[in-house]
Structure 1
Amino acid sequence: MKTEKNRESGLELLRIIAIILIVSHHLVVHCPFDLWAEPFCLKRLFFQFLYRASGKIGIALFLLITVWFLADKEISLRQAAKKIWSLWSILFFWNLSSLVLQFIIDPTSVIASTWLDLLFPLTRNEWWYVSSYSVFMLLLPFVRTSLQKMGKRSHLQLCILMIVLWGLLRFVPGANLGMGLNFVGFCYVFTLLAYYKWYSLRLSRFTLNVAGLLGLFAIVIWNAILSAVWVGDSDNLPIYLEPVQDEWSIPILAVSFALFGLFRGMHFHSKIVNHIASASFGVYLITEQPFIRKQLWFNWVNLSVFYNDKYAILLSVLSIFVVFCVATVLELVRKSLYRVAVDRLWTKLFDRVWPKKSSDGYWNVFAVL
């Protein structure tokens, strides 16, 4: 795996695009504005896309980039735990920063659960993506080994089964087969991408373009037609839009895989792009921290304030860009502070808790029992 300094910038640029798509999704989904009560028009169609599809594409892109570099890397349980250990310290930093802000802005809102979130953000699913990623990382050494041992034929059969269960059957509105905002989706995407990478599948730019455009066409047309003819309770409309734009749906993955393949084929290097991309995960953590999220989309950038403005789309784009830039700067500052004062000490502490020499020793005890 290439380091941040010499990694090619195609996927890093895509990482930036992914987090911008996620922020745009949060602009709509986390604000108090009732989008579905508005009359259907092109403007509403634009915000409908942001409401669901943009964020789900962003999540899939973020995950694809992550698992691409993990697919060929042998990771032990100790290494996975070390990543989670490092991740917890970052979560603690942003939770603590939010808590200070909470005491300043709204001290009465600090309750027992606030302190639990500060100490146990992963187990309390404060950031669903991070909790799912952590469980996935702990399972990865076993999942990866199992996929490699089953061979190409069984791996392909597993991919087909997953696509049928969590792809085709999800076209039924309201379908629920254990797939959602959890680690199952991570295992699903890893299984598909691992097959693609390990067995050297080659997709032409034309194929990728067609797949991406078909996925995007399905999302837009489904939204447009269903919204135009809908006569029932508007609050129920999203249920019937989910089959094409929910997380891990076939159209969402088609667009995401296509973008991933196209950007992976870009061969250029930009220190600026790589530096900005290194803060993208922090942008997600900042904007999705519960207290900051509420302040951000309720008080600081509220869609209901400017939705009826004739420049609503432009204002939303500017708002998304500003939020992304501010959060990026904050995360880069955090990274600089950690590089100087935290990272080395935190790593040493982990090595004391779980020494390298005893990485297998703990599990041998259970094997004997």
Structure 2
Amino acid sequence: MFAIVIHHYAYHSTFNWGVYNTLYEGALKVNLFLHFFGKLGVDIFVIIGAYFLCEKKFNFKRPINLILTTMFYSFGIYIFLAYVLRVKLLIPISLKGILLPFPLPSGYWFVYSYVVMLFAMPFLNIIINSLERAKLLMLISGLIILWSFLVIGCIVFNDKPGTSIDDFGYTSTTFFFLLYFIAAYVRKYSGKILNSKKYTAIGSVVGLLLAVVCSYLADSQKLFNGILDTFDINGPIVIATSVFIFSFFRNCHFSNQVINYIAGSMFGIYLIHEDSFARPIIWDQLISSKLYVHSGLEYLMAGLFFRY
């Protein structure tokens, strides 16, 4: 969640990172890495949930509780801002907008995709349990080629008319299915490398260093945009690094009640700071990242400070 929040600082705040300006080159390179860092957090978040779900029976309460929790925060934030603080909300809302697809004032792409994954859980588990190790690995490899390499290639080299990533079945929801299969493979057949703290630590560090190097090399608009496209949730480096980081901590056997207690509040943090009505107030009015873009280090430190 730390990674996701600091990514939103980079993505939503007032710094116009979409236009490459050499005056702010340091901040742009830091911004690019924070994009990677946030997408990494998303993949790890999904893998953690899928790792435990892949060997559990379907329970209708899971998606319903997730929807009810999201409704509580979404309606609570909207009512508090609109009717208690009397804030003039920048986003218009209608009854139709509240009712679809779930009865929420604010939409959350992550919640939508995760809820669908929860409902698909029993069918995903049937696929996992019916496949041998080699066939499950073949399925994962095929989907990575299709939804990672091929999709990103189409985005980076967008020069063929009439071609869309939708043609290959890629959405954030279907990609969560791929992460689900990966988490199940790690749990059932992880093998020597993923069961080693040494190898998973090396893999994690290498993945992070690759992201740093790629961000450092982004010295033009074209390179910045191209690297940014590979830093999405389906980017090969993002997927590999998330698996290594998750596997490293899976191999670290310790228990801490404080960490477990704090972890229980993480989803609430996401629902608060990514709310459509709270987001402009947080990132445009309370926090203005463009004040810190004259130095890459200052831009990064401001993000870390605001994160807390």
What's the offset of the Cα at 1:280? 0.4
Number of residues paired by the alignment? Answer: 290
Gaps spanning 5+ residues in structure 2: where?
157-164
- Structure 1's 202 and 108: CA in aligned 2 closer, same or farther, altered over 3 A? closer
1:196 is the counterpart of 2:176: no
Aligned to 2:169: 178
- Partner amino acid, structure 2, of 1:65: I
- Distance, in Å, in 2 between the alignment partners of 1:173 and 1:216 is 24
Change in CA separation of 1:307 and 1:41 when aligned onto 2, cut-off 3 Å: closer
Partner Cα separation in structure 1 for residue 264 and residue 284 of structure 2: 28
Give 3-state SS (helix, strand or coil) of 1:290's partner.
Answer: coil
1:59 and 2:59 correspond: no
* Alpha carbons 2:7, 2:37 under 8 Å: kept: yes
Which residue of the partner structure matches residue 208 of structure 1?
200
Structure 2 residue 117 is matched with structure 1 residue 136? yes
Q: Distance in 1 between matches of 2:46 and 2:16?
A: 30
Letter aligned with residue 211 of structure 2: I
Question: Partners of 2:207 and 2:151 in 1: how far apart?
Answer: 15
Relative distance call for 1:45 and 1:239 in structure 2 (3 A) is closer
Q: CA deviation at 1:189?
A: 0.7
Match status 1:44 vs 2:28: yes
The structure, 1 or 2, with the larger RCO (C-alpha pairs under 8 Å, 6+ apart) is 2
Q: C-alpha separation between the residues in 2 aligned to 1:269 and 1:70?
A: 20
Q: Does 1:95 align with 2:78?
A: no
CA distance 1:306–1:32, shift in 2 (3 Å): same
Q: 1:107 to 1:300 in 2, by over 3 A?
A: closer
| Amino acid in structure 2 at the alignment position of 1:300 | L
Shift of 1:221: 2.1
2:160 maps to which residue? none
| Structure 2 CA distance for aligned equivalents of residues 209 and 61 of structure 1 | 15
Change (3 A) 1:219 1:260: same
1:20-39 equivalences under 5 Å are 20-35=2-17, 36-39=19-22
Q: Per-residue CA shift, 1:53-98, capped at 9, x if unaligned? A: 01100101111111111111121xxx2x322222222222212222
8 Å CA contact 2:203–2:244 kept in 1: the answer is yes
Q: How does 1:210-359 map to 2 (within 5 A)?
A: 210-225=202-217, 227-228=218-219, 230=220, 234=221, 237-308=223-294, 311-321=298-308
**Deviation for aligned residue 1:147:** 2.1
Shift of 1:148: 1.0
> Are the aligned partners of 1:173 and 1:239 in contact in 2 as well (CA < 8 Å)?
no
RMSD of Structure 2 on Structure 1 (CA): 2.4
The 1-side partners of 2:112 and 2:147 are apart by: 21
Q: Please tell me whether residue 70 in structure 1 is matched to residue 49 in structure 2.
A: no
> Contact (CA 8 Å) 1:57, 1:253: kept in 2 or not?
yes
TM-score using structure 1 length: 0.72
Distance 1:151 1:206 in 2: 27
| 1:317 CA drift (Å) | 0.9
Q: For the pair shown, which has the larger CA radius of gyration, 1 or 2? A: 1
Paired residue for 1:161, among 114, 126, 142? 142
Instruction: Report the Cα distance in structure 1 between the residues aligned to 2:89 and 2:149, rounded to whole angstroms.
Output: 47
What TM-score, normalized by structure 2, do the two folds share? 0.85
Percent identical: 23
Structure 2 CA distance for aligned equivalents of residues 240 and 110 of structure 1: 31
Cα shift readout 1:169-224 (whole Å, capped 9, x = no counterpart) = 245261624334x2111100111221222234232223213322332233222222
Task: Tell me what 1:338 maps to.
Answer: none
CA pair 304-108 structure 1, distance change in 2 beyond 3 A: closer
Which residue of the partner structure matches residue 351 of structure 1? Answer: none
- Is the Cα–Cα contact under 8 Å of residues 126 and 290 in structure 1 kept in the other structure? yes
Q: Deviations 1:214-239 (Å, cap 9, x if unpaired)? A: 322332222222x22x2xxx3x5553
The aligned amino acid for 1:58 is: G
